[in-house]
Amino acid sequence: MRVAMIGTGYVGLVSGACFADFGHVVTCIDKDPSKIERLERGEIPIFEPGLDDLVARNVREGRLFFTLDGAEAIKAADAVFIAVGTPTRRGDGHADLSYVYAAAEEIAGLIEDFTVVVTKSTVPVGTGDEVETIIKRVRPDAQFAVVSNPEFLREGAAIEDFKRPDRVVVGTEDERAQAVMRELYRPLSLNETPIVFTGRRTSELIKYAANAFLAMKITFINEMADLCEKVGADVQQVAKGIGLDKRIGSKFLNAGPGYGGSCFPKDTIALVRTANDYGAPTRLIETTVAVNDARKKAMADKVAAAMGLEDLAGKTVGVLGVTFKPNTDDMRDAPSLDILPALLAMGAAVQAFDPEGRHEAEKLLPGVTFKNGPYEVADGADVLLLLTEWDQFRALDLDRIKGLLKAPVVVDLRNVYKPAEMVRAGFTYASIGRG
């Protein structure tokens, strides 16, 4: 199959490279010249484990191309994917669909034979209808079908997730489009991946329902963690004890500083807006959003409390990790963007290290000093705050850390270390939901 992928970001580049690896011929299109220039030079513009090798192999084997001008690729494509951003629209919380609609206009002008237009971007219910209307308006004669095919990959494990997903969701009732989608994903039948064919609106809602449910699950265990701290219980044991129940499941039960990242914050808010527009409010999700926002802000108080203080004037906080999770350089809506400014507002000086996030983080976190490694961050700090659980923070030389810190205080918002061991090693140690 010939595929055109409009938008070569975290989702478009991974999906494009994986489709090429399945054997399809894929052209990834982006309007950002620096991104395309870097890809043409063989550089990967984002950090995603394994992506450099996957892209290099498929480029070498003549199945993966990059371009600023997608006209030829779109004309020749069996399927044109829209994988552009759908950030929160400023002012009202709805998803900003301007990039999706611009892509639809562009596609409309170019379609030749029957083409499947696939929205892979996360888009609110009814967006597929609007994409169809746009294409029909521009080209009443065009032969096409608009399909919803939301993406569920996780940054940091994106290739594995794309190639071995729990399921693929395809929203279309058009039989020709179903056949094209089946052919595109055929290699997944080897691992018996379920392909859920459904209506387009249902498919669009499945994506938001999935993200909202996961955000709610994280928020649930975070509230349990707060309760654990009050009653002297251990949230990790609670998570294990409930997670072994198959109706609950053990995933997404790690208590922490609150969810962040490029999807959950914007998608929960957008779902709340859609639900309100249709007069079917989603109170659980509204509460999830509010609880999570408050939680991130409360994390700075937790740091002060661990030091026995009410504010942080004159203190230096060393921060390990600023990306919203390990193995990505993505800083969109990372909890650090709330927590570090709150520490600064309490009077602290903040010095931070992140293995991959520094480039973006420096632009987003004015006032924070960036260091080159975890020990540099500990050097001269009054407290060490573990914010993102990168592997390299999991086995720090604790004696060395203690020697570098002004006071041996560690606040571990990811429960990486064991409380008893930290106390034995001479630290004042605070973590999440462990008595």
Nearer to ligand NAD, 144 or 208 (CB): 208
Report the residue from 27, 58, 115, 122 that binds ligand NAD according to the rule CB under 6 A: 122
Q: Are 313 and 343 in contact (CB under 8 A)?
A: no
Residue nearest to ligand NAD (CB): 9
Q: Is 323 in the site for ligand NAD (CB under 6 A)?
A: no
CB of 84 to ligand NAD, least distance (A): 4
Query: Strand 316-320's sheet: what is its strand order?
Result: 368-370, 349-353, 316-320, 383-386, 409-412, 428-430
161 vs 234, which CB is nearer to ligand NAD? 161
Q: How near is the Cβ of 11 to ligand NAD at its closest, in Å?
A: 4
Note the maximum CA span of the chain. 75
7 binds ligand NAD (CB under 6 A): yes
Q: Work out whether 171 is an interface residue with ligand NAD (CB under 6 A).
A: no
The H helix count followed by the E strand count for the chain is 17, 14
Active-site positions read 263
Asked if 64 and 73 touch (Cβ cutoff 8 Å), the reply is: no
Instruction: Assign 81 to helix, strand or coil.
Output: strand
Task: CB nearer to ligand NAD: give 76 or 102.
Answer: 102
Minimum Å distance from CB 408 to ligand NAD?
Answer: 37
Minimum CB distance to ligand NAD smaller for 14 or for 349: 14
Q: What's the token pair of residue 378?
A: 């500990």
**Which of 256/260 has CB closer to ligand NAD?**
260
- Residue carrying the six token digits 């959003």: 289
Give the helix/strand (H/E) hosting 41. Answer: none
- Let me know the angle formed at the C-alpha of 147 by 172 and 117, rounded to the nearest 5 degrees: 145
How many CB atoms within 10 Å of residue 104? 26
Taking CB under 6 A as the criterion, the residue among 66, 99, 144, 264 binding ligand NAD is: 99
DSSP state of 95: B
- Looking at residues 252 to 281 of the shown chain, list those that interact with ligand NAD (rule: CB under 6 A): 262-263
DSSP helix/strand/coil, 160 = helix
* Region of 7-15, 36-44, 171-179, 371-379 interacting with ligand NAD (CB under 6 A): 7-15
Query: Is 30 near ligand NAD (CB under 6 A)?
Result: yes
Tokens of 181: 């989608």
If one asks whether residue 102 binds ligand NAD (CB under 6 A), the answer comes out as: yes
Residue 119 DSSP code:
E
Instruction: Phi first, then psi: give them for residue 195, nearest 5 degrees.
Output: -105, 115
Among 155, 204, 329, 354, binds ligand NAD (CB under 6 A): 155
Of the pair 270, 346, the CB lying nearest ligand NAD is at 270
Binding residues for ligand NAD, per CB under 6 A? 6-12, 29-32, 35, 83-86, 99, 102-103, 121-122, 151, 153, 155, 262-263
